[in-house]
Amino acid sequence: MQDEQTAVVTEAAPQAAAFPTGFLWGVATSAYQIEGAADADGRGQSIWDTFAHTPGRVAGGDTGDVAADHYHRYPEDVALMSELGLGAYRFSVSWPRIQADGSGPANQRGLDFYRRLVDSLLERGIEPAVTLYHWDLPQALQDRGGWLDRDTAYRFAEYAGAVREALGDRVRLWTTLNEPWCAAFLGYGEGKHAPGVQDPPGSLVAAHHLLLAHGLAVPALRAAAPGEIEIGTTLNFYPVSAASEDPADLDAAHRIDILQNRIFLDPVMQARYPADILAHVERVCGTGHIQQGDEALIGAPIDFLGVNYYTSYHVAGGGEAADGPSCWPGAQDVRFLSCGRPLTDIGWEIDAQGLRTQLERINRDYPGLKMLITENGAAFDDVVSPDGKVHDQARIAYVDGHLRAVQQAIASGVDVRGYFLWSLLDNFEWAEGYAKRFGIVHVDFDTQLRIPKDSALWYGGVALRNDLPAEQAI
Ligand code: FCB
């Protein structure tokens, strides 16, 4: 929140205000992408172990078996964050480390890793932000249907309670799910992510069960231990624009907006699916999987929304409605168009203003909702220069541009409390393997040597000053 002093500065300076006092400057990672230690201390198999070990699923045949070996090297990684001056760290807990088979008593050796991690963060004054599900479902639960099976939602709530019981006295910020869009639609619709199921209508059922898992976990988290915590969920948002005012294009944009943005946020915030969303689901797979009372559970009050943002969509109707695997159930006919903006190394258009548009839209739809940017960042083809450094000016420009957009959103009244850059380390980028580098710290995956890139030093400076440099980076 802005104190009076900041408000005076705002009036004097025509440009956007400095970031609010207490703004969290963090970085984000996830368990499977960095931990490695796939067999350590009683960890079970996750769907990502199975998927990555299936030939042809991940570029280069890469797996997360070793990844950035963070499980063993976390003291070094926490020290790095501290040296950079960062104030917060968002990481995820690996469900199969806590329940090898997805149910039953918690594995204390698995929890001990996160206890050690949290303690070392707190010792250095870094606020931990825990994500409970970043896609690594225990394989044993997948064997019973995974997110197509309603029971998985109940298992998730049980697991969430166990983690809160173990860490709840030391962790304030809790996120239930990371990007259920990817888990449902890439995992069960297109099959590009684990578990690799290609069933677009079924992926809408998976989406509902993920929402139910979130809704059941919120009270389970609050009940599991005494003390105040803040609970949110993390969604990946893309502002969607239509190619023209033609009804076919407007309809395409409406359906993509439903599937990408509203199907998750609206029921969480309104405790019901709005009629147009229900009608879409009805058309594609029926609504028999939505039981009476589910929507009320899904709408359990949350304390903040986690916003992940990478790029925006520009769409048109009139494509071929192919029947095959797709992450767009009921919108397979939509065409995604280029706006001609520069691309990151993973092929996503750079649209910093889209972040402002998205934040302002959420605030318009749900006024006063407290938000954290839980991910934003860029893949670039970084190289270690002869001077031993990584001069990733393009990443600096990307983050700088997006932070200016956040600043503008805050100035226009959006309540953003923090920013977590994706990612601390180069890591296992899902189906892309290790080929796409998102870290602000370079990792040599042969030696595990870490080299903070120029962007890490730049970002540390921003965090320390709680402000951007006067000159915009290009
Ligand atoms: C997000 C994921 C994260 C990472 C970034 C690049 O969709 O949450 O794990 O892969 O994209």
Q: Which of the listed residues 428, 429, 436, 440 should we mutate to test ligand 1's pocket, taking the one with most ligand atoms within 8 A of CB?
A: 429
Angle between helix 454-465 and helix 393-411 axes, rounded to 10 deg: 30
Task: Tell me the CA–centroid distance for residue 106 and ligand 1, in Å.
Answer: 27
- The predicted-structure confidence for 361-416, as pLDDT tens digits, reads as follows 999 999 999 999 999 999 999 999 999 999 999 999 999 999 999 999 999 999 99
Closest ligand 1 atom number to CA of residue 436: 6
Please identify which residue in the block is written with the tokens 């100035």: 411
> Any idea which residues carry the catalytic annotation?
375
Quick one: which atom of ligand 1 is closest to the CA of 234?
Answer: 8
Q: What average pLDDT does this structure show over 454-470?
A: 96
CA of 375 to the centre of ligand 1 (A): 8
Distance 174 CA to ligand 1 centre (A): 18
Q: Does residue 12 have a pLDDT over 50?
A: no
Task: Say what the pTM is.
Answer: 0.96
Beta-ladder partners of 451: 442
Handedness of CA 344, 347, 348, 351 (dihedral sign): positive
Report the nearest-CA residue for atom 9 of ligand 1.
Answer: 30
| Domain parsing of the chain, residue ranges | 24-465
pLDDT per residue over 66-85, tens digit each?
999 999 999 999 999 999 99
Q: What is the dihedral of CA 449, 455, 460, 461, to 10 degrees?
A: 140
Question: What confidence score (pLDDT) does residue 15 get?
Answer: 53
Output the ligand 1 site: residues, CB below 6 A. 30, 33, 178-179, 182, 236, 308, 375, 422, 429-430, 438
Across the range 271-299, mean pLDDT stands at: 98
Nearest residue to 94 via CA among 76, 70, 77: 70
Q: Kind and range of the H or E element at 297?
A: helix 294-298
CA gap 374, 372 in Å, rounded = 6
CATH code for the domain defined by 24-465: 3.20.20.80
Out of 179, 348, 424, give the residue to mutate to test ligand 1, the one with the largest number of ligand atoms within 8 Å of its CB.
Answer: 179
Burial annotation 61-80 (CB, 10 A radius, 16+ → b, else e): ebbbebbbbbbebbeebbeb
Question: In this model, does residue 131 exceed pLDDT 80?
Answer: yes
Q: Which residue has a Cα nearest atom 10 of ligand 1?
A: 429
Question: Which residue do the tokens 């769907």 mark?
Answer: 47
| Angstrom distances, CA of residue 405 to CA of 2, 311, 353, 472 | 17, 13, 6, 12
**pLDDT tens across 295-330, in order?**
999 999 999 999 999 999 999 998 887 789 999 999
Q: From ligand 1's centre to the CA of 429, what distance in Å? A: 7
Alpha-carbon distances of 94 from 134, 197, 259, rounded to whole Å: 8, 21, 27
Comparing C-alpha atoms, which of 361, 376, 470 is closest to residue 409? Answer: 361
Average pLDDT over residues 99-126: 98
- How many A from CA of 471 to the centre of ligand 1? 29
